Amino acid sequence: MAASRLPPATLTLKQVAAVLSSLLDHLSAFLRRQQVLLLYRRILRAIRQVPDDSDRRYLKDWARGEFKRNKSATQEDTIRMMITQGNMQLKELEKTLALAKS
């Protein structure tokens, strides 16, 4: 029988699968973090358009507090749900600002 041609340091398929799974988890976390940061920046940009200074300050403090309060969330579904809710609240704020300008 012929000897294996694979070098002794070659990973098994199971090890390769584990490495790939870990890389995908890290990539997913990175992309989720980017989504959260983008949402935060978009909310702050929208808040800058609020005409009243005290309302603007209140909304900015509220947004900062919400993001800080949920900073430790780690479950993928929970984070996805919070991003969805944040996007809906941002759209409502943008609609309100558009109505106020018209």
Question: For residue 88, which of 39, 29, 22, 38 has the smallest C-alpha distance?
Answer: 39
- The answer to whether the pTM exceeds 0.75 is yes
CB 50 within 8 A of CB 59: yes
Q: Is pLDDT at 1 greater than 60 in this prediction?
A: no
Task: Tell me how far apart the alpha carbons of residues 83 and 91 are, in angstroms, rounded to a whole number.
Answer: 12
Give the closest residue to 76 by CA, choosing from 36, 23, 44, 43. 36
Per-residue pLDDT tens over the stretch 57-81: 999 999 999 999 999 998 999 999 9
CA distance 20 to 26: 10
